[in-house]
Amino acid sequence: MKPIRLVLPGALLFVLLAFLTAGPVAMTQDPACPTCGPAGEPEGCTVIMVGKNASTDGSVMTTHTCDCGECDWTWRYIPAADHKPGETRKIYHISQFGNWAPDAGLKWEDIKRTVVMEIPELPRTRAYIHGDFGYMNDAQVAIGESTVGCQAKMENPTPAAKFDITMLTLIAMERAGTAREAIKIMGELGEKFGYGHTDTGEMLAVADPNEVWVFEIMPVGPLWTPQSGKPGAVWAAQRVPDDHVSVCPNESRIGEIDLKKPDYFMASPNVVQLAVDMKFYDPKGGKAFNWKKAYNPTDVSAANTNGSRVRLWRFMDLVAPSQKFRPETLNEDFPFSVKPEKKLSARDVMMMTRDKTEGTPYWPARGIQGGPFQNPNYLPYGFELDGKRYNTPRIIGVNRAEYVTVTQSRGWLPHPIGGIVWLAWGAQDTSCFMPLYAGMTRIPRSFEIGDHWQFDRDSARWAFDYVDFHTQVAYNLAIEDVRAAQRAYEDPAIERTDVIDKAALDLYKKDPALAVKFLNDYCLSNIDHVLAAWWQLGDDLLVKYNHMWVYDKATRKRGPLKFPDWWLKLLVEYNQLTPQPAAKK
């Protein structure tokens, strides 16, 4: 996504950006990977995981910030289905990164032209909802995704790799009743049929009402074939302790693996041998095998990348501040998980997905980077100057999200009521989380359509982009209008969850179908109200901050935007302005 421009007098904004003095780190950039960090690490998505004893209500939570910036954002509901003996399931090559024009049918029509093989169907497959990945099925199995990459010689972009990460998540949604089942299904399919194609190393948070796991899967190189007799993928999974939380910010998170503890570790049979064969690990070296140091080594930290890799430190510091984690600590040396100093609610987790590191040296709006209106969304990919490239902080609440999910799996309720996917379209700071219960049997048409290159008032996503665009003009003022709308529409939806749960449960005991209808009606009605409110909010912001003034509806007066003194002083200094002569007496 191209940086959003702030309208300022002349070209002053672009001149001021040259003043950035936050100790910039020169870096090389792969032109094929505009979302990569200084060492080529992918910068795509952030995942937060919360164990059931680390949450305020006993729910297991995952998140996914799908922040590709130009990917197909559309969603689908897939109903449960019965299948006859001999039926097969088509397997597609599905790029998580691509986009398709509306007249081509968008992503979920286009993939039907990419059938690579078929596998036997199950007698019955589960219902689920998915966007770029599968997010939750009718057994409350939930997923969040983060690209982690792998060593270059492991990549397998050849057609021999039949599975990519999106396809694996869809099959897991259809077939798994628990998180462990989902992991085994995906791992075994990758081993048997090969994993990679458009994907490299990937991490999935895989959850159910009882537990959440970190599952990481990687290709095994471009020379693999099914005839080799060797696994076509290497994978490992580690369970987050029930009273802990964890995060994945596009970096491998699994370290040493102890397969003698099956309640906490799982892995493919080649988990160590592949590293030995590829000379990533020497078993004679006297050190225990370490997954991330073998397959995804890194020497980055928040400090040595000027905040480009700040998310891991920031999360740990937010949930366990008394441990005084240091931004200088290498990311691979942080613990896999940590016990939070206070239990987290769904609202807490939502706010973490919006975090922009305010109050730290890595706040993107500090100094002049945010301009006169402290906009933290400038330069999300860094910038080039005089032939050199400089990185800027890459925060959790980055401004290129397609959508954000927060899933809750809750074991004390029947599956249709216990599972919730909280969905927020577009950038986190200007969006609104809306609940989608696992018992829903349809989603709005507005969720199924939309494209980055064509404005569409029938698309839900565009309502939030409309607000986001108008917020950028005078960010620190307009964001307060947005937060007021979030308090009016998001907070009540969170607060009435218990009431909705109870009403649905009462109906479920009498007739499950009535409970499902009730949940459909509630979620769809809430979505309609939020979408209408956000379209109106976009109109209101356009009027209120039109022409860089402030138009007050109540008084029918307008007044100038107040530019801060520090910014005006810079303007005077750089443009060599002189004050008006004093009036003669």
The mean pLDDT value of the chain amounts to: 92
Burial 286-304 (b: 16+ CB within 10 A, else e): eeebbbbbbbbebebbbbe
Answer whether 62's CB lies under 8 Å from 407's CB: yes
Adjacent-strand bridge partners of 60 = 409
Output 91-94 pairs: Cβ under 8 A, ≥24 positions apart.
91/115, 91/116, 91/117, 91/118, 91/119, 91/162, 91/163, 91/167, 91/193, 92/116, 92/167, 93/159, 93/162, 93/164, 93/167, 93/197, 93/198, 94/164, 94/166, 94/167, 94/198
Tell me the two tokens of residue 315.
Answer: 């999360």
pLDDT tens sequence across 376-389: 999 988 889 999 99
Q: Domain-by-domain residue ranges, the chain?
A: 33-357, 413-553
Q: How many CB atoms lie within 10 A of CB 53?
A: 13
Is pLDDT of 209 > 50?
yes
Tell me the two tokens of residue 141.
Answer: 């199995």
Is pLDDT of 2 > 80?
no
Angle at the Cα of 546 (from 579 to 7), degrees rounded to 5? 60
pLDDT tens sequence across 23-50: 333 333 343 343 444 444 446 799 999 9
The pLDDT of residue 45: 92
What letter represents residue 56's amino acid?
T
Tell me the two tokens of residue 146.
Answer: 């983060």
pLDDT tens sequence across 475-532: 999 999 999 999 999 999 999 999 999 999 999 999 999 999 999 999 999 999 999 9
pLDDT tens sequence across 274-310: 999 999 999 999 999 999 999 999 999 999 999 999 9
The pLDDT of residue 104: 78
Parallel, antiparallel or unpaired: strands 128-130 and 134-137: antiparallel
Residues 6+ apart with CB under 8 A from 112: 90, 92
The pLDDT of residue 33: 40
- Tokens 């952030």 label which residue? 46
Q: Which has the higher per-residue pLDDT, 341 or 109? A: 341
Rounded to whole angstroms, the Cα distance separating 357 from 365 reads 10
